[in-house]
Amino acid sequence: MDIRAPEQQYNPYRVYTREEWARLRDDTPMTLEPGEFDRLRSLHDRLDLQEVEDIYLPLSRLLSIYVDAMQRLYYAERQFLNIRDRKVPYIIGVAGSVAVGKSTTARVLQALLARWSPRPKVELITTDGFLYPKALLEQQGILQKKGFPESYDLPLLLSFLSDIKSGRRHVRSPVYSHLTYDIVPNEWAEVDQPDILIVEGVNVLQTGKLPRDGKAVPVVSDFFDFSVYIDADEAALRRWYIKRFLALRDTAFTNPKSYFNRYALLSDEEATATATAIWERTNLANLEDNILPTRPRATLILKKGADHAVESVALRRL
């Protein structure tokens, strides 16, 4: 037990206020066009010029240092071992609760990193493509646990990442549809030897239970070179989830093909009650049991305030 006062104990993270972090941008140029912000922003997330300048440009600068250093280490080791093979993709994981804004962060990073010079090939995948099909989740009685570790085809995700890291060409990932609430049959997203791959999903930092006999069991984050956890207080996440549900009721859910079409005619009060119930039963339970416990495994933690803006940044010490 560490009996030192909390302020004297070792903290694996250096923590920066938004203002301190923003200064680390240095002279990193803004490479996004004004018109791109709407395309990159998810429903109800916040993304403006200030957020990109203060948070994402310093992060892009930091990542360029990490990627460059890793490449040099990789070549040095290849020289030492006297082997020649192609360089492996650099993989960045993006984790956090449902409704925290992972998709926005992942898309902004993809856009910024793709504009480094010389232009790297930056691909993005979301882990929802590796959810089991709805029929299988129903059969196992876990449809209400969508997003929990047991709802994913983990061996398929691990073999996908292993193929990417081993330099395979045309690696395919299944595709998930929020509209049908299911995997799309016979549709694939293809990843073809990127320089950088961003892997976004609620559970990407999970380790599962490690076997007692010491047998090697890969976990998703074994394939990551860098990871970002997006954090926010539960009260804010709940509010964002409910607000998004109300917005989807008036848009996506009105499509007769939407799995949630039956919610399209709910009153504000009814929709709020339904969203609160889904939040508590599924997404809050998943946050508490499976997602939040992985936060201390991230390289970088972006903490958002009630207005979606990042208010502090924690970077793991090397």
Ligand X SMILES: Nc1ncnc2c1ncn2[C@@H]1O[C@H](COP(=O)(O)OP(=O)(O)O)[C@@H](O)[C@H]1O
**Interacting residues toward ligand PAZ by CB under 6 A:** 98, 126-128, 146-147, 201-202, 278, 282-283
Nearest approach, Cβ of residue 78 and ligand PAZ (Å): 34
Nearer to ligand PAZ, 60 or 127 (CB): 127
Nearest approach, Cβ of residue 230 and ligand PAZ (Å): 11
Q: Please, how many CA atoms are within 13 Å of residue 289, restricted to the half-sphere of its CB?
A: 13
- Residues that bind ligand X in the complex, under the rule CB under 6 A: 42-43, 96, 98-103, 178, 244, 248, 252, 260
Distance CA 76, CA 202 (A): 35
Nearest approach, Cβ of residue 30 and ligand PAZ (Å): 28
* Binding residue ranges for ATP: 96-103
Residue 248 binds which entry of ligand X, ligand PAZ, none, with Cβ cut-offs from 5 to 8 Å by kind?
ligand X
> Kind of pairing, strands 226-231 and 90-96?
parallel
Residue of minimal Cβ distance to ligand PAZ:
147
Nearer to ligand PAZ, 63 or 98 (CB): 98
How many degrees, rounded to 5, is the angle at CA 302 between CA 300 and CA 307? 175
Nearest approach, Cβ of residue 202 and ligand PAZ (Å): 4
Nearer to ligand PAZ, 98 or 205 (CB): 98
Nearest approach, Cβ of residue 147 and ligand PAZ (Å): 3
DSSP characters over 86-125 = PPPPEEEEEEE-TTS-HHHHHHHHHHHHTTSSS---EEEE
Residue 101 binds which entry of ligand X, ligand PAZ, none, with Cβ cut-offs from 5 to 8 Å by kind?
ligand X
Q: Are 112 and 56 in contact (CB under 8 A)?
A: yes
Q: Are 14 and 315 in contact (CB under 8 A)?
A: yes
Distance CA 94, CA 262 (A): 32
Tell me the two tokens of residue 134.
């709805």
Residue 282 binds which entry of ligand PAZ, ligand X, none, with Cβ cut-offs from 5 to 8 Å by kind?
ligand PAZ
Distance CA 283, CA 277 (A): 10
Nearer to ligand PAZ, 123 or 128 (CB): 128
Nearer to ligand PAZ, 116 or 241 (CB): 241
Q: Using DSSP, how many helices (H) and how many strands (E) does the chain show? A: 10, 9
Nearer to ligand PAZ, 59 or 125 (CB): 125
Residue 58 binds which entry of ligand PAZ, ligand X, none, with Cβ cut-offs from 5 to 8 Å by kind?
none
Residue 127 binds which entry of ligand PAZ, ligand X, none, with Cβ cut-offs from 5 to 8 Å by kind?
ligand PAZ
E strands, the chain, where? 13-17, 90-96, 122-126, 171-177, 182-191, 196-200, 226-231, 300-304, 310-316
Residue 221 binds which entry of ligand X, ligand PAZ, none, with Cβ cut-offs from 5 to 8 Å by kind?
none
**Sequence-separated (6 or more) residues with CB below 8 Å from residue 61:** 24, 25, 26, 28
Residue written as tokens 């996440």?
Answer: 237
Nearest approach, Cβ of residue 90 and ligand PAZ (Å): 20
